[in-house]
């Protein structure tokens, strides 16, 4: 049995806002013509694509989200310096490793964000995820202490994500 789909003008309000801003940034203007065109696209594209959407937990805590983004940007800058030093230094000293990180968070969107953050920040690249989405396999460029790395990722990145998505 299917329920009759109800019509919403804005089925995905967040996406509409992002599309509108992205359109204006792409054209680098706030001219009235582009405001109208951007608004049209911001309404039309979600209407056409909302049926394909896979429900994901939303961002429940806006302030925690902003804090997380700023922290990640800062960590990216630090990680860049660290990786630069490792690249310039002698390759013999590197101790690469594979590490499996146990995941507490569920759902695809939070795990994707965690995996991307891990790839961008502390000398690690996410490589694979287990079938049941309980383990994240990462490759580390220079491993010093496995427990420390797992604790760092869980404490610094996973815990705020868990709070943001409430999962």
Partner 1 sequence: MEFWIELVVSVFLVVGAVFVLIGSLGLAKLPDFYTRLHGPTKATTLGMGCLLAASVILVTYQQGYLSLHELLITLFLLITAPVTAHMLAKTAMHHNLEILDKTSNKALTKRARDRINP
| Residue 1 CB, nearest approach to partner 1 (Å) | 35
Residue placing its CB nearer to partner 1 in the complex, 134 or 159: 134
Interface ranges with partner 1 (CB under 8 A):
22, 25-28, 76-77, 79-80, 83-84, 86-88, 91, 94-100, 115-120, 123, 125-132, 134-135, 137, 139, 141, 143
| Main-chain phi, psi angles of 98, to 5 degrees | -105, 140
| Shortest separation between residue 8's beta carbon and partner 1, angstroms | 27
Contact 46, 19 (CB under 8 A): yes
Beta carbon of residue 163, minimum distance to partner 1 (angstroms, whole number): 21
| Helical ranges in 50-158 per DSSP H | 62-88, 108-120, 146-152
- Shortest reach from residue 122's CB to partner 1, in Å: 9
Shorter beta-carbon distance to partner 1: residue 72 or 164: 72
Q: In the complex with partner 1, which residue's Cβ is closer, 20 or 47?
A: 20
CB count in 10 Å sphere of residue 144: 10
| Among candidate residues 101, 106, 105, 104, the one with its CA nearest the CA of residue 138 | 101
Contacts of 114 by beta carbon, 8 Å cutoff, 6+ apart? 103, 105, 136, 157, 158, 161
């Amino acid at each position: 049995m299917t329920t009759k789909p109800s019509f919403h003008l804005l089925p995905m309000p967040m996406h509409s806002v992002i599309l509108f801003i992205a359109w204006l940034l792409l054209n680098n203007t706030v001219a009235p013509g582009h405001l109208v065109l951007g608004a049209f696209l911001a309404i039309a594209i979600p209407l056409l694509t909302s049926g394909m959407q896979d429900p994901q937990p939303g961002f429940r805590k806006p302030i925690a989200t902003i804090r997380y983004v700023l922290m990640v940007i800062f960590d990216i800058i630090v990680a860049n310096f660290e990786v630069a030093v490792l690249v310039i230094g002698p390759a013999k000293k590197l101790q690469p490793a594979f590490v499996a990180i146990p995941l507490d968070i569920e759902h695809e969107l939070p795990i994707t964000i965690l995996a991307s953050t891990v790839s961008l920040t502390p000398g690690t690249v996410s490589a694979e995820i287990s079938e049941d989405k309980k383990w994240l396999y990462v490759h580390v460029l220079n491993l010093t202490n496995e427990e420390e790395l797992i604790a760092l990722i869980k404490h610094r990145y996973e815990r705020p994500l868990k709070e943001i998505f409430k999962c």
